[in-house]
């Protein structure tokens, strides 16, 4: 273990090595005590050399199999003379002082911050492997989904032999990061780390044995390794209870560990954009007010997490992809673009050609409206694919999505229509559209009484004391379906996947099924607390299906019977289904080209091997 940026000795002995933050807020949320840490600038040439020298001393002086480098990110925008000089040397321009995602100079600076991190990550890996060939090197990937202030681009994964990081955001975060690392890592397994204590700042408040076991089993479900972090006492000891809970957690997962993993079976790909880890609401802020203390709160992440949670509860086989998969989109039946705020020309072209060739995409809100270079387009870059044009941001307080004749009440969880808060004026959550003639309008805009006024005491432009009821149906589309080439797209003017209601979820899943039908590789009838995964293990001629009863507690209430089905394809026939490692054979039937198997889960995590002949 080596801490790259946090180095108290270096910061005290060499004060000129210190990070010079533009914003005072660091180590967000107040959980960790800022005053304890000496932060060094990752651009200071002497400090960089110091890091390489220390790492070289460690790996040449001690036997080690791997090196884990922590804290390789920016804790703030550093404005020290070395950062300023380097940026001017590379671009000929001064470091920008104002955040503006519509300004090419600002976007160029942010790209430079990410490039500097990637450069250092790969330099460290190369240096260690030169000193001790064959040593695995990886850096903490925990803040890869943090907002732009941390400066970790997904390109930095090239400096890792495999991905791993410590996470504390609960089940939703584990679901997302496990799927993300699985498709981004150069090698498997990836590593999911977390503390035995409630968080990094706690020393005695331990997580329950059940909570730790559930986190470990969830890692196993996704084919990941687990690492537990235990605090060390001042005398060098470790709380025996912490070690016992680690032992219990690992013992529960050990019988299943060797059986899990493989090539993930993913019909739906949720696109994660590392250039959209920002908010247009920050435009105009000085660097001193950069959002370093709220790194896990921005529109794309809310949509990304929402989509993953909805797909998991619907038991649709999905994965999280990045631009690393742009040349391999044809393997997916549907690609989800969840409020992708910034896209470059390569991403736009890849999505267009994917649909032209027969693929399906769902896209929402600001997707393809702004280029990564800082150019705000007059229209969506993918307007031809979406079947609609951007007119303007929506006004008012709230609007409604009114279903057309082809959308029944079941698609809205029994509601008449779907209400949406428009949000702040500088970053509205709903856009006004103009359709292309060939596109099909699935839902239209309904405006509340008094729109666009929000209601005032002295006015008469409101109709209910607290709410803003729907009133005026319009012909403006809000959800469009468009055929493009051999494929099709559904575009929503609002980010349905970020909504927290049953109606948002029902509509999102309904639209995905509308795109791809119901002939998925894997389907499952189970409660929403059942997490599932599917991996292909070609050498063994089998698929490994994982069923984790994730109720948030252990022992969990006994789940009801689960029924799953697998599609049969030409040249492939399912021959045997059994739980592993118990080797308890399960009965199955064949229906309409699918293998159907009901079973009663006996454990919190059940692995099932479905063998096939080809």
Task: Say if residue 247's pLDDT is above 90.
Answer: yes
Question: pLDDT digits over 21-55, tens only?
Answer: 998 777 654 567 778 889 999 999 999 999 999 99
Residues 6+ apart with CB under 8 A from 335: 268, 269, 271, 321, 329, 351, 354, 359, 360, 361, 362
Q: What pLDDT is stored for residue 30 in this prediction?
A: 53
pLDDT recorded at residue 35: 82
Closest CA to 602 of 575, 566, 562, 565: 562
Sheet of 487-492: strand order equals 318-321, 268-271, 334-337, 360-364, 487-492, 470-484, 440-448, 398-403, 418-421
What does the pLDDT look like over 81-112, one tens digit per residue? Answer: 999 999 999 999 999 999 999 999 999 999 99
**pLDDT tens-digit readout, 297-341:** 999 999 999 999 999 999 999 999 999 999 999 999 999 999 999
Give the rounded distance of the alpha carbon of 432 from its chain centre.
27
The model carries a pTM of 0.96
Separation of alpha carbons 68 and 160, rounded Å: 9
User: How confident is the model at residue 31, as a pLDDT?
Assistant: 67
3-state DSSP helix/strand/coil percent for the chain, to nearest 5?
30, 25, 40
Instruction: Provide the 3-class DSSP secondary structure of residue 192.
Output: strand
Per-residue pLDDT averaged across 368-372, rounded? 98
Q: How far is CA 258 from CA 221, 261, 277, 280, 580, in A?
A: 11, 8, 35, 45, 11
189 prior amide bond cis, ω within 30: yes
Taking CA atoms, 488 is separated from 266, 267, 352, 381, in Å, by 19, 16, 10, 16
Q: What is the pLDDT of residue 28?
A: 53
Query: Tokens standing for 557?
Result: 């209430």
- Phi/psi for 491 (5° steps) reads -115, 135
Asked if residues 159 and 118 have their Cβ atoms less than 8 Å apart, the reply is: yes
Q: What is the DSSP letter of 258?
A: T
Chain centre to alpha carbon of residue 430: 22
Handedness of CA 111, 112, 117, 119 (dihedral sign): positive
Helix (H/G/I), strand (E/B), else coil: 9: helix
The answer on pLDDT for 355 being more than 80 is yes
Contacts of 185 (CB under 8 A, 6+ apart): 157, 160, 162, 163
Query: pLDDT tens-digit profile of 487-539?
Result: 999 999 999 999 889 999 999 999 999 999 989 999 999 999 999 999 999 99
Nearest C-alpha neighbor of 511 from the set 354, 596, 425, 406: 406
Concatenating the DSSP letter of every residue in 508-551 gives HHHHHHHHH-S--SEEEE--TTEEEEEEEEGGGTEEEEEEEE-S
Examine the pLDDT at 293 and tell me if it is beyond 90.
no
Among 51, 50, 48, 46, which residue's Cα sits nearest to residue 16?
Answer: 46
Residue 398: predicted pLDDT: 92
Mean pLDDT of 597-606: 94
Helices (H), 358-425: 383-386
User: Residue 441: its pLDDT value, please?
Assistant: 97
**In a 3-state reduction of DSSP, which class is residue 113?**
helix
Q: Give the separation between CA 217 and CA 208, rounded to whole angstroms.
A: 14
């Amino acid at each position: 273990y080596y801490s790259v940026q946090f180095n108290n000795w270096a910061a005290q002995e060499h004060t000129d090595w210190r990070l010079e933050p533009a914003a005072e807020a660091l180590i967000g949320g107040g959980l960790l005590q800022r005053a304890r840490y000496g932060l060094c600038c990752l651009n200071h040439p002497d400090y960089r050399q110091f890091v390489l020298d220390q790492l070289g001393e460690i790996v040449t002086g001690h036997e080690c199999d791997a090196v884990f480098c922590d804290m390789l990110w920016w804790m703030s925008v550093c404005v020290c003379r070395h950062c300023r000089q380097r940026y001017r040397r590379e671009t000929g321009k001064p470091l920008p002082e104002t955040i503006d995602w519509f300004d090419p100079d600002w976007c160029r600076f942010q790209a430079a911050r990410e490039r500097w991190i990637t450069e250092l990550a790969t330099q460290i890996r190369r240096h260690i492997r030169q000193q001790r060939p064959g040593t695995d090197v990886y850096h903490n990937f925990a803040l890869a989904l943090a907002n732009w202030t941390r400066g970790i681009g997904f390109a930095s994964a090239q400096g890792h032999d495999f991905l791993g990081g410590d996470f504390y955001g609960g089940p939703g975060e584990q679901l997302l990061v496990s799927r993300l690392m699985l498709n981004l890592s150069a090698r498997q397994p990836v590593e999911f780390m977390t503390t035995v204590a409630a968080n990094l700042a706690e020393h005695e408040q331990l997580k329950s044995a059940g909570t730790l076991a559930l986190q470990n089993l969830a890692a196993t479900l996704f084919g990941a390794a687990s690492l537990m972090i235990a605090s060390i006492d001042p005398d060098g000891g470790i709380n025996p209870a912490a070690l016992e809970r680690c032992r219990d957690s690992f013992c529960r997962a050990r019988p299943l560990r060797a059986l899990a993993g493989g090539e993930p079976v993913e019909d739906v790909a949720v696109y994660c954009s590392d250039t959209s880890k920002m908010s247009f609401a920050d435009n105009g802020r000085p660097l001193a007010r950069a959002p370093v203390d709220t790194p896990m709160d921005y529109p794309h992440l809310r949509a990304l997490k929402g989509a993953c949670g909805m797909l998991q509860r619907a038991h649709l086989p999905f994965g999280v992809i990045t631009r690393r998969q742009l040349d391999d989109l044809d393997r997916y039946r549907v690609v989800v673009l969840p409020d992708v705020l910034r896209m470059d020309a390569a991403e736009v072209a890849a999505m267009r050609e994917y649909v032209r060739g027969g693929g399906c995409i769902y896209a929402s809100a600001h997707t393809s409206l702004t280029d990564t270079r800082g150019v705000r387009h007059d229209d969506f870059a993918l307007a031809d694919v979406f079947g609609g044009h951007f007119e303007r941001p929506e006004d008012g307080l709230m609007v409604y999505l009114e279903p057309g004749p082809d959308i029944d009440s079941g698609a809205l969880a029994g509601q008449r229509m779907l209400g949406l808060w428009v949000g702040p004026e500088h970053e509205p959550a709903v856009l006004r559209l103009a359709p292309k003639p060939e596109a099909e309008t699935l839902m239209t805009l309904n405006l509340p009484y008094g729109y666009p006024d929000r209601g005032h005491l002295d006015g008469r432009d409101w109709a209910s004391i607290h709410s803003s009821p729907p009133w005026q149906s319009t012909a403006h589309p809000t959800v469009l379906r468009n055929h493009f080439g051999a494929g099709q797209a559904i575009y929503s003017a609002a980010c349905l996947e970020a909504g927290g209601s049953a109606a948002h979820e029902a509509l999102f899943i309904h639209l995905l099924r509308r795109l791809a039908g119901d002939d998925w590789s894997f389907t499952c009838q189970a409660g929403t607390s059942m997490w599932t995964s599917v991996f292909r293990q070609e050498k063994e001629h089998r698929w490994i299906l994982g069923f984790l009863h994730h109720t948030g507690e252990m022992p969990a209430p006994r789940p009801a019977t689960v029924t799953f089905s697998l599609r049969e394809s030409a040249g492939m026939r399912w021959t045997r289904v059994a739980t592993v490692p118990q080797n308890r054979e399960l009965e199955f039937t064949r229906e309409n080209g699918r293998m159907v198997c009901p079973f009663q889960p006996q454990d919190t995590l059940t692995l099932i091997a479905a063998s096939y002949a080809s």
